């Protein structure tokens, strides 16, 4: 099977699957590479909050067996596409098939009005193509459709005034801004949705992504809550030796709000959901209880000896409190001896792309990296 195109250069060339879809609160692959390079373990690498799949995919690139899960359908689609991709030829055949089958709607299944936001966000011709792909792509059951859906998620919205590879009017790449705010901003800035051919963009992005070979190994990603990780991966019991992850932060907006437009593309409602099941909490008590339950969820997967690397942050928790509460949650959740392997590394994060879009300064928060031995 044609897995991709070769690329010349050193092993230091960044793999182009890494950036298949910009994602909020993602850590760089160098973070994973660094921690995997110093571990002596050789079992599975696991990420219970896998996001866009950086841990799982980087582990595969370093010839490790890897798996992960995320409760967010957008994350599961992106991560699954990267970590278990179909062959390049198969995707091209499917994309050609989809383009040939595209016709304007005549039965209302994917036609009809969606509201003011969509009228301003996409050119009418572009919106028809987007809605067609939303209707026909079977991203949950077909690997080729999942990869095409992941490409669509990466191009669905972004800085279209700077790049021809975004479908939308001008928006942040990482999150979906709220409909009412977006329309007002576009009106104020005199921004008009560009006329973009979705199929041409997908063909370009497909060729670009496959300029680096997919890794030989493939990984498994499940759309599942971290608290249900053992149920999702019963075959991994006792096999995980390295966990590299970043749990959702306290006082962070939930993914239903952040990713509402991408969730719509995957079959959700064309509205922002401000409530519903999510894995973030505003109460400190509930937050640490949630993390304890997550460690309980992955506990049976851990081998006799394991290493857990956790990147965690907050706008209102100090390093000492985070370290102590995180260790307590691990001890209670895993029910095993856990020790802090290093004092932790701290970094400040201030600027985000969303704030750049809004023209406002972000509220800085601090991230801490802790390594624990089990």
pLDDT, tens digit, 9 for 90 and up, residues 6-22:
333 334 688 999 999 98
What is the Cα–Cα distance from 287 to 325, expressed in whole angstroms? 10
The pLDDT tens digits of the residues spanning 319-371 come to 899 999 999 999 999 999 999 998 888 877 655 544 555 555 555 668 899 99
Helical ranges in the chain per DSSP H? 29-38, 54-61, 73-83, 88-101, 116-121, 124-136, 143-155, 179-189, 198-209, 229-232, 255-258, 260-265, 284-298, 319-334, 353-358
The pLDDT tens digits of the residues spanning 140-177 come to 999 999 999 999 999 999 999 999 999 999 999 999 99
- pLDDT value at residue 370: 95
- pLDDT value at residue 108: 59
Q: How many domains does the chain have?
A: 2
Residue 265's CATH number:
3.40.50.150
Confidence band of 203 (pLDDT split at 50, 70, 90): very high
- pLDDT value at residue 60: 98
Asked if the model's pLDDT at residue 208 lies above 90, the reply is yes
Q: Are residues 63 and 196 in the same domain?
A: no
Taking the CA of residue 289 as centre, how many other CA atoms within 13 Å lie in the half-sphere pointing to its CB?
Answer: 6
Q: Are residues 285 and 345 in the same domain?
A: yes
- pLDDT value at residue 66: 98
Phi, psi of 137 (to 5 degrees): -70, 125
Sign of the alpha-carbon torsion through 134, 273, 275, 158:
positive
Q: Write out the residue range of the structural domain in which residue 128 sits.
A: 88-209
Helix (H, G, I), strand (E, B) or coil at 202: helix
- pLDDT value at residue 280: 58
Alpha-carbon distance values, 306 to 99, 153, 234, 297, 365 (Å): 48, 34, 18, 15, 29
Q: Are residues 291 and 163 in the same domain?
A: no
Residues 6+ apart with CB under 8 A from 86: 143, 144, 147
Q: Are residues 142 and 201 in the same domain?
A: yes
- pLDDT value at residue 314: 80
Q: Are residues 65 and 205 in the same domain?
A: no
The pLDDT tens digits of the residues spanning 301-319 come to 999 999 999 999 887 788 8
Q: Which of 141, 175, 209 is the last residue of a domain?
A: 209
What is the Cα–Cα distance from 169 to 357, expressed in whole angstroms? 12
- pLDDT value at residue 275: 61
Asked if the model's pLDDT at residue 26 lies above 50, the reply is yes
How far is it between the farthest Cα atoms of the chain?
63
Q: Are residues 281 and 241 in the same domain?
A: yes
Q: Are residues 45 and 94 in the same domain?
A: no
Cα 18-239-14 angle, rounded to 5 deg:
15
Cα 82-83-87 angle, rounded to 5 deg:
70
Q: Which of 209, 233, 255 is the last residue of a domain?
A: 209
DSSP code per residue over 293-359: HHHHHHGGGEEEEEEEEEEEEESS--HHHHHHHHHHHHHHHH-S--EE-S--EEEEE---HHHHHHT
Alpha-carbon distance values, 233 to 55, 63, 222, 237 (Å): 17, 20, 8, 7
Asked if the model's pLDDT at residue 112 lies above 90, the reply is no
- Do residues 69 and 226 make contact, with C-beta atoms less than 8 angstroms apart? yes
Q: Are residues 368 and 280 in the same domain?
A: yes
The pLDDT tens digits of the residues spanning 64-111 come to 999 999 999 999 999 999 999 999 999 999 999 999 999 876 655 666
Q: What is the DSSP letter of 240?
A: E
The pLDDT tens digits of the residues spanning 274-293 come to 765 555 567 889 899 999 99
Among candidates 147, 47, 140, 134, which has minimal Cα distance to 95?
Answer: 147
Asked if the model's pLDDT at residue 295 lies above 60, the reply is yes
Q: How many CB atoms lie within 10 A of CB 284?
A: 15
Report the b/e string of 312-328 with b at 16+ CB within 10 A: bbbeebeeeebbebbee
Q: Are residues 110 and 159 in the same domain?
A: yes
Distance, CA of 106 to chain centre: 34
Average pLDDT along the chain: 89
Q: Are residues 224 and 368 in the same domain?
A: yes
- pLDDT value at residue 170: 97
Torsion of CA 244, 247, 253, 255, to 10 degrees: 70
- pLDDT value at residue 111: 63
Q: Are residues 246 and 347 in the same domain?
A: yes
What is the Cα–Cα distance from 246 to 370, expressed in whole angstroms? 10
Please report whether residue 14 resides in a domain.
no
């Amino acid at each position: 099977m044609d897995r991709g195109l070769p690329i010349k250069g050193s092993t230091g060339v960044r793999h182009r699957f890494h950036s298949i879809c910009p994602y909020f609160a993602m850590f760089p692959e160098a973070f994973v590479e660094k921690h995997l390079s110093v571990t002596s373990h050789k079992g599975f690498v696991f990420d219970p909050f896998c996001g866009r799949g950086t841990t799982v995919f980087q582990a595969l690139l370093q010839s490790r067996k890897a798996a992960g899960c995320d409760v967010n359908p957008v994350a599961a689609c992106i991560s699954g596409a990267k970590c278990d991709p179909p062959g390049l030829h198969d995707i091209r055949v499917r994309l050609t098939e989809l383009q040939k089958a595209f016709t304007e709607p005549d039965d209302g299944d994917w036609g009809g009005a969606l509201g003011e936001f969509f009228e301003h966000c996409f050119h009418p011709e572009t919106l028809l193509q987007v809605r067609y792909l939303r209707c026909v792509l079977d991203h949950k059951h077909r690997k080729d459709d999942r990869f095409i859906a992941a490409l669509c998620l990466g191009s669905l919205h972004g800085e279209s005034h700077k790049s021809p590879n975004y479908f939308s009017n001008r928006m942040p790449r990482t999150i979906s801004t709220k409909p009412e705010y977006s329309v007002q901003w576009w009106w104020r800035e005199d921004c008009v949705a560009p006329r973009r051919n979705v199929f041409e963009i997908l063909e370009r992005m497909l060729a670009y992504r496959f300029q680096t070979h997919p890794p030989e190994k493939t990984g498994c990603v499940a759309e599942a809550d971290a608290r249900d990780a053992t149920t999702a991966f019963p075959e991994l019991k006792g096999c995980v030796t390295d966990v590299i992850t970043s749990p959702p932060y306290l006082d962070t907006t939930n993914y239903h709000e952040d990713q509402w437009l991408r969730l719509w593309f995957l079959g959700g409602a064309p509205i922002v959901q401000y409530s519903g099941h999510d894995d973030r909490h505003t109460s400190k008590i509930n937050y640490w209880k949630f993390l304890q339950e997550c460690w309980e969820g992955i506990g049976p997967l851990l081998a006799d000896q394991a290493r857990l690397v956790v990147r965690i942050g907050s706008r209102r928790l100090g390093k000492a409190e985070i370290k102590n509460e995180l260790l307590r949650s691990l001890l209670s959740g895993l029910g095993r001896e856990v020790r802090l392997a290093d004092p932790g590394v701290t970094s400040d994060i201030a600027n985000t792309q969303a704030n750049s879009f809004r023209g406002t300064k972000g509220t800085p928060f601090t991230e801490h990296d802790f390594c624990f031995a089990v």
